[in-house]
Amino acid sequence: MDNVATGLLWYIAFLFSTTLHEASHAFAAMKLGDRTAYEGGQVTLNPFPHMRREPIGTVVVPLVSYFVGGWMIGWASVPYNLQWAQQFPKRSATMSLAGPAANLFLVILSGLVIRVGMAMGFFDAPDSITFMHVVASTTDGAVSTVATFLDVFFSLNLLLCIFNLLPIPPLDGSGMIPFFLNDGLSRKYLMFIRNPAFSIMGILVAWRVFDVIYSPLHLACVNLLYTAVAYYE
């Protein structure tokens, strides 16, 4: 039952974080002139439109990965107009940035909640940290449950932010490359990365790169959170 309860906290954190990520893409696109995702009903924090679009990535894979591996992976997506992206590559790059920016906001928000909880005596810095343990509860019960949720919420959103910022197709980081190119090169680049083969190879490469960079960045962020404590690998 404890495993199921923790899994529920994981799923709430995953679903909200993924929904905000995709809704931020959709909202940015709408504001910048592409109403494709808006007309699809995805400028919303209601998770169900996102779940209907990607039921495998938002329901099946997260639950299976948790009960098999002890943590959740998954995905979601929003549609966009490729012609709009090619016509306005800098706007398209801004849309790509919106999703990771939303996850970074949630990392900062969860860090602030932890710091406020520490000031109120509910939380403390843990003796040691892992992906699943970045804050210690000073009491049992509801406070302990909130601490467990913050463990997941902080680390999961940091993961989503860093992973999606990798400049490898099909991740959001690859969509930000037009910031650094002129419009002509940006159009050629956006067509080039549309090849489905790049998406498959890109995910494989991204996971290898992510394995190397995530742990040091997670450690650095936790050390920023607890200025009076120093954690080491």
Active-site residue, selected from the candidate residues 22, 39, 54, 233: 22
Confirm if 133 and 226 have CB atoms less than 8 A apart: no
Q: What gap in Å lies between CA 25 and CA 33, rounded to an integer?
A: 12
Residues linked to residue 73 through DSSP beta bridges, in sequence order: none
- Hey, what long-range contacts does 110-116 have (CB within 8 A, 24 or more apart)? 110/150, 110/153, 110/154, 110/157, 111/154, 111/221, 111/225, 113/150, 114/150, 114/154, 114/225, 115/225
Q: What gap in Å lies between CA 87 and CA 183, rounded to an integer?
A: 8
Reply yes or no on whether 22 is catalytic. Answer: yes
For 230, phi then psi, to 5°, come to -120, 120
Whether a cis peptide bond, with omega within 30° of 0, leads into 170 is: yes
**Helices first, then strands: H and E counts in the chain:** 11, 2
Just list the catalytic residues. Answer: 22
